[in-house]
Chains A and B, each alone.
Chain A
Amino acid sequence: MRPFYTLIVVTGFLLLAAGAGAEPTAPAGYRLETFNTPGAAFAGLSRDAGGLLVSDLASGRLYRRGADGKLVAFGPIFPHGLDVIGDPTGPYHVVRAGDDLVIAQGWTPVGSKEGPFDHALVALDAAGQLRVINSDFWNPFDFIVAGGSYYVVDAARNSVERVEPDGRKSTLLTFQRMGQAATALRSLSPTEFAEGNSYEADAVPVGIALHGGRLYVALFGGFPFPAGAGKIVSIPEAGDRSTPQIDVEALNAPVSIVFDKGGEMLVLEHGTYDQKDGFRKASGRLLKFNKGGRERKTILEGLTRPVSVLVWDERRIVISELGGNLYVLTRVSAR
């Protein structure tokens, strides 16, 4: 039962303003470099040739980070601000797709009139012109480009969508609500979350990756984000997608997923959620799973509100945080 904390159909994914957290420390065998941009709220990461692309929800800007380490803004200022519950919205992710850069733009900021680029996939061409590929989303939080198509996770409709370059869209899968044991919420209400009770939370897809012919989706777990409710599931890129396969369970709000050069899966956990204060500082982690998904290893912990992870090369991993941090984790020892 959940009569009081309720639904929040509009919530989907809470990105409450991030506070400064304790800095994570590099694990043995790794070197960690931190690059902070005051006031920024970094979100999606991708690679464009030799440059790192990152979006900033605080300014609505897209940035390219070159070999000199400097962030250079490019493209227009996208709509940005806070959504109805105070979470930052704006350009969630920018990815190279042929001659264009494609941007997943979040839903309309509070107090703003809805514009053509809101809740949309938008293409930015080399001349700086914008074109809406499709705006029939509610909250397109992450996407990948594969085989000329876009695979988009809509974190409000709780669906995986396939979009063709001409904008045609088809829904591959809509996730049902996930049953949860009430144990994690017993401290919230003894009358509603008694022993033996269960309740349902939205299965909010927020991250997507393609590997070995399967689409892997990070399910954040809906409000109130009980610890261990997150999952990684997968469906075949082609064929019967009606029943997703559960690959990893017991995750704390997994927000981004990627595979390294060796085919091992990296999962970025956003953190654990305190029912009074929101996401706890320094509770985010980067986990690595072996190919079977059965063994997990913590690569980095102490992250505060991390959003995206990118495998840069065989030794380096980049992580973004809402607090304006970019981390570069470099493996300095042999595997």
Chain B
Amino acid sequence: MWTSDIRAAVMVIAMTSRAVAADVGPVVGNPLIEVPAGRFIFGRVDGPENERPRRELEGQAFAINRTEITNRQYGLFVKETGHRTAFYANHPILGLDDHPVVGVSWGDADAFCRNYGLVLPTEQQYERAARGTQGSAFPWGDVPPGNTRANSGADVCCSGDARDGYPMTAPAVSFADGASKEGVLNLVGNVWEWTRDVYAPYEGGTAARSAGLYRVLRGGSWNSDKNHLTTTYRLAYDPEFRFSANGGFRCVRSTP
């Protein structure tokens, strides 16, 4: 155990140093981090039924925003396009410039990404970015988040708490200890992140199929308990819902 932990730590450092494999990207102040093609683990068998089965997939390379889209970045998009503002744009905490934008529907998030030639990540891209290639429990490995790796909530669903320093959202650039091996921040915690995918059972899965059309959010947020604060939890929601104080997004650029 010790040996593998030390090896893992060394790899984290090594891979983190490779986080320079990024370009500035089209979203000012939010570079795109390269995630290389290759095999990775998707899904798991020891969680909720809708996360099954666990499969090894071949993924294409893509690049993902280093941080969740911020209020400043979303505000610039609104100014440039005339798109509607985020619901909590004026909130004294949720609306801070360097905090992730919240109060956006799936359509709002999709429009932002497309405006910059990007798209929302798929669930597979999210899991590859958040779990690495080996299907880790968290972006940093398998140890629980604690108060330094993720902005999460109370022990019992679903209240925020400030044990991690933030009663609500934290700045998008925060919790460096919780970065992924590629250097992507807050893939777990802070805000749920819209994905591109329609909610449905995984291929080979046995979860019930929903009657309506829902999009999936990933990653948990500042008010999530440990059951929701995972890299595999699938939160299906009405894509038009825009009143959430803990739902945001980031974008990806897929490599053809």
Question: Which chain A residues have a beta carbon within 8 Å of chain B's beta carbons?
Answer: 1-8, 10, 82, 84-86, 110-111, 187-192, 223-224, 275-276
Assess whether B158 is in contact with A189, with CB atoms less than 8 Å apart: no
B221 touches A3 (CB 8 A): yes
B91-A188 in contact (CB<8A): no
Set of chain A residues within 8 Å of B221, measured between Cβ atoms: 3-4, 6
A6 x B244 contact (CB < 8 A): yes
- Contact A4–B212 (Cβ < 8 Å): no
Whether the pair A85, B158 counts as a contact (CB closer than 8 A) is no
Chain A contacts for B192, CB-based, 8 A: 3-4
Q: Which residues of B contact A82 (CB under 8 A)?
A: 90
Are B90's CB and A111's CB within 8 A?
Answer: yes
Chain A residues with CB below 8 A from B208, complex form: 190
**Can you show 10 pairs from A to B with CB atoms below 8 A apart?**
A2-B157, A8-B245, A187-B212, A187-B238, A188-B241, A189-B214, A189-B235, A190-B212, A191-B50, A191-B234
Distance (Å) between the CB of A95 and the closest chain B CB?
Answer: 30
User: When the two chains form their complex, are residues A188 and B237 in contact, meaning their CB atoms are under 8 A apart?
Assistant: yes
Contact flag A192-B235 (CB < 8 Å), given A5-B243, A7-B159, A275-B243: yes
Complexed CA–CA distance, A5 and B50 (Å): 21
| 0 or 1 for each of B89-113: is its CB under 8 Å from A? (1 = yes) | 0111001000000000000000000
New A-B contacts (15) at CB < 8 Å, excluding given A191-B50, A276-B240: A1-B157, A3-B158, A4-B192, A4-B221, A5-B244, A6-B158, A7-B159, A82-B90, A84-B90, A84-B91, A84-B92, A85-B87, A190-B210, A191-B236, A276-B241
Closest-CB distance, A5 to chain B (whole angstroms) = 6
Cβ-defined contact, B244 with A4, below 8 A: yes
Contacts A3-B228, A6-B244, A6-B245 given; does A189 touch B90 at CB 8 Å: no
Chain B interface, DSSP helix/strand/loop, else mixed: loop
Q: Determine the residue in chain A with the shortest Cβ distance to B223.
A: A6
Q: Is B224 an interface residue (CB 8 A)?
A: yes
A3 and B87 contacting across the interface, CB-CB below 8 Å: no
**A10 and B235 contact, CB distance less than 8 A:** no
Q: A29 CB to closest chain B CB, in angstroms?
A: 40
B42 in contact (CB, < 8 A): no
B240 CB to closest chain A CB (Å) equals: 4
User: For A4, what are the chain B residues with a Cβ–Cβ distance below 8 Å?
Assistant: 192, 217, 221, 235, 237, 241, 244, 246-247
Residue of A whose beta carbon sits closest to that of B242? A276
**Closest 3 interchain pairs by CB?**
A190-B210, A276-B240, A110-B90
Work out how many contacts link A and B, with CB atoms closer than 8 A.
88
- Interface residues as binary, B195-214 with A (CB distance below 8 Å gives 1, 0 otherwise): 00001000000001010101
Mask, B174-192, CB within 8 Å of A = 1, is 0000000000000000001
Measured CA separation A7–B223 after assembly (Å): 9
Q: Does B160 contact A (CB under 8 A)?
A: yes
Q: Is the CB of B243 within 8 A of A86?
A: no
Q: Which residues of B contact A8 (CB under 8 A)?
A: 243, 245
Contact of B238 among A110, A111, A189, A223 (CB under 8 A): A189
Given contacts A82-B90, A84-B92, contact A3 B243 (CB under 8 A): no
Which residues of A sit under 8 angstroms from B77, Cβ to Cβ?
Answer: none
The answer to the question of B249 belonging to the interface, with a C-beta cut-off of 8 Å to chain A, is: no
Q: Are A10 and B50 in contact, CB atoms less than 8 angstroms apart?
A: no
Interface size on B, residues (CB 8 A): 36
For B88, B223, B238, B246, the residue with the greatest tally of chain A CB atoms inside 10 Å of its CB is: B238
| CA distance in complex: A5, B238 (Å) | 11
- Measured in the bound complex, the distance between the Cα atoms of B91 and A85 in whole Å is 7
Residue-by-residue, is B215-256 near A (CB-CB < 8 Å gives 1, otherwise 0)? 001001101100010000011111011111111000000000
Q: Which of B149-186 contact A (CB under 8 A)?
A: 157-160
| A289 vs B242: C-alpha distance when bound (angstroms) | 36
Give the Cβ gap from A85 to chain B, nearest Cβ, in Å.
Answer: 7
The verdict on A191 contacting B235 (CB below 8 Å), with A3-B221, A6-B158, A7-B159 known, is yes
**B153: shortest Cβ distance to chain A, in Å?**
8
**Residues of chain B lying within 8 A (CB to CB) of residue A189:** 214, 235-238
B91, B158, B240, B242: the one within 8 Å of A7 (CB): B158
B235 contacts which chain A residues (CB < 8 A)? Answer: 3-4, 189, 191-192
Which residues of the partner chain B approach A224 to less than 8 Å between Cβ atoms? 243
**Distance, CA A275 to CA B217, complexed state (A):** 17
> Which residues of B lie under 8 Å from residue A187 when comparing CB positions?
212, 238
Q: Could you tell me the distance in whole angstroms from the C-beta of B226 to the nearest C-beta in chain A?
A: 12
Which residue, B90, B192, B224, has most C-beta atoms of chain A within 10 A?
A: B90
Q: How far is the CB of B189 from chain A (nearest CB, A)?
A: 12
A5 touches B91 (CB 8 A): no
A1 to B158, CA, bound (A): 7
C-alpha gap A223/B234 in the complex (Å): 23
**What residue of chain B has the Cβ atom nearest to residue A275's Cβ?**
B241
Q: CA of A190 to CA of B192 in the docked complex: distance in angstroms?
A: 16
| B236: A residues at CB distance < 8 A | 189-192
Give A77 to B217 CA distance when docked, in angstroms: 45
Contact of B223 with A3 in the complex, beta carbons under 8 Å: yes
Q: Are A5 and B90 in contact (CB under 8 A)?
A: no
Report Cα–Cα, A223/B158, bound state, in Å.
14
Chain A hits for B247, CB < 8 A? 4
Distance in angstroms from A94 CB to nearest chain B CB is 27
